Amino acid sequence: MTIHLPSPDGSLRAYEPRTEPLAVTPGTPFTSRTVFSAAHVVADPFADTNPDAPAAVDWDATLAFRRHLWSHGLGVAEAMDTAQRGMGLDWAGAAELIRRSAAEARAVGGRIACGVGTDQITGGTLAEIRAAYEEQLALVEESGAQAVLMASRALAAAATGPEDYLDVYGHLLRQAAEPVVLHWLGPMFDPALEGYWGSSDLDAATDTFLDVIAAHPDKVDGIKVSLLDAQREVDLRRRLPQGVRCYTGDDFNYPELIAGDEQGFSHALLGIFDPLGPLAAEAVRILDTGDAAGFRGLLDPTVELSRHLFQTPTRFYKTGVVFLAWLAGHQSHFTMVGGFQSARSLPHFARAYELADGLGLFPDPKLAEDRMKTLLALYGVSQ
């Protein structure tokens, strides 16, 4: 039983799929780490739409996937960049997603945090940017979810220096009803965020980021760092005020950052924990017992897949995430809002399939194989 997969050089290679998935079962929430999976949205494949039109979402499949994550003890980070905020999902769609997912979380007892941004505007003055943030913060708080203050493209364009970030974030933190998570998303995920916190010098930007937190430590539950620089994250988390958590968003180095060292560790809010959900949950439960080596032994082999999905251009990692969800049977089709299923190549998909199958991520390996063959046939690859 072999499948022939295309390589980047145009040749075909034989791959023998595994026949049994990794044995993992749903379980209770974790005790040693707080872990969120940034979840993708499932498009409605029958909607008569186009990339310029508002997103058409399959709400039943989207919410079912969140129940899958909750069943394994993971929290859901909703309406983040994994859900294609600013890449197919506009604010109206994100607002509906937040309302529906927060209601579902209440119904099943799942933990949820939701992204707060400014994507209902494309630019504007600092006052207009504050107002946009306020509108989204109010909706998230009314839904009963924890707020994640996301980086703003509009603020990156309008700010003239660090003082503008201190002013906008200080204003928002003063009025936040509950402690929030501050999200620093690097330009590898969104080029429009270059120079965030008032400088392209990451040391200077880090100082401003820490100044925001130091002024309002009681309003900051934690920070999510997505810079793909493990040492910078470690250095940053060691400078955080007591009680402020670091949630790693580093999809290249997450095992070592979550495991931590003698001076501390990172919690997690990760896009890669969308396809890795059950396996990641199993690894964290092992870590809960104090077995850091067992945790690393299970999670370290997943890094090659994560680095493949998040390779440059990193912002298109969502395409691989949705592709694996289709192969795993979490949705009936490989369609994305905004048409972003076209954002990666066939050799990229082939390698993602090979790596994910090798890890045992597919609950039904035969289904995944059949769907991979369907995609190959669509591209003209015969078996």
Beta strands in the chain (DSSP E): 3-6, 12-15, 35-38, 75-78, 112-116, 146-149, 180-185, 220-226, 245-248, 267-270
Question: What value does the mean pLDDT take over residues 40-67?
Answer: 96
If 0-12 CB within 10 Å is exposed, 13-18 middle and 19+ buried, where does residue 48 land? exposed
If 0-12 CB within 10 Å is exposed, 13-18 middle and 19+ buried, where does residue 292 land? middle
Quick one: pLDDT at residue 26? 84
**Parallel, antiparallel, or unpaired for β 12-15 and 3-6?**
antiparallel
pLDDT band, residue 251 (cuts 50/70/90): very high
Please give the full DSSP string across 7-66, using - where no structure is assigned.
-TTS-EEEE---SS-------PPPSS--EEEEPPPPB-TT----TTSPP-B-HHHHHHHH
CA–CA separation, 201 vs 321, rounded Å? 31
Quick one: pLDDT at residue 277? 97
Quick one: pLDDT at residue 29? 84
Decide: 7 and 347 in contact? Cβ < 8 Å.
Answer: yes
pLDDT at 25 over 90: no
Q: What is the pLDDT of residues 163-192, one digit of tens each?
A: 999 999 999 999 999 999 999 999 999 999
CA–CA separation, 46 vs 44, rounded Å? 6
Q: What is the CA radius of gyration of the chain?
A: 20
**Parallel, antiparallel, or unpaired for β 146-149 and 180-185?**
parallel
Quick one: pLDDT at residue 130? 98
Quick one: pLDDT at residue 242? 95
Q: What is the pLDDT of residues 212-248, one digit of tens each?
A: 999 999 999 999 999 999 999 999 999 999 999 999 9
Q: What is the pLDDT of residues 102-143, one digit of tens each?
A: 999 999 999 999 999 999 999 999 999 999 999 999 999 999
Q: What is the pTM of this model?
A: 0.96
Residue in the structure block whose two tokens are 């504050």:
130
pLDDT at 261 over 90: yes
Quick one: pLDDT at residue 183? 97
Quick one: pLDDT at residue 28? 80
Decide: 224 and 183 in contact? Cβ < 8 Å.
Answer: yes
Quick one: pLDDT at residue 113? 98
Quick one: pLDDT at residue 227? 95
Quick one: pLDDT at residue 91? 97
Q: What percent of the chain has pLDDT over 90?
A: 96
Question: What value does the mean pLDDT take over residues 317-344?
Answer: 98
Q: What is the pLDDT of residues 281-311, one digit of tens each?
A: 999 999 999 999 999 999 999 999 999 999 9
pLDDT at 55 over 90: yes
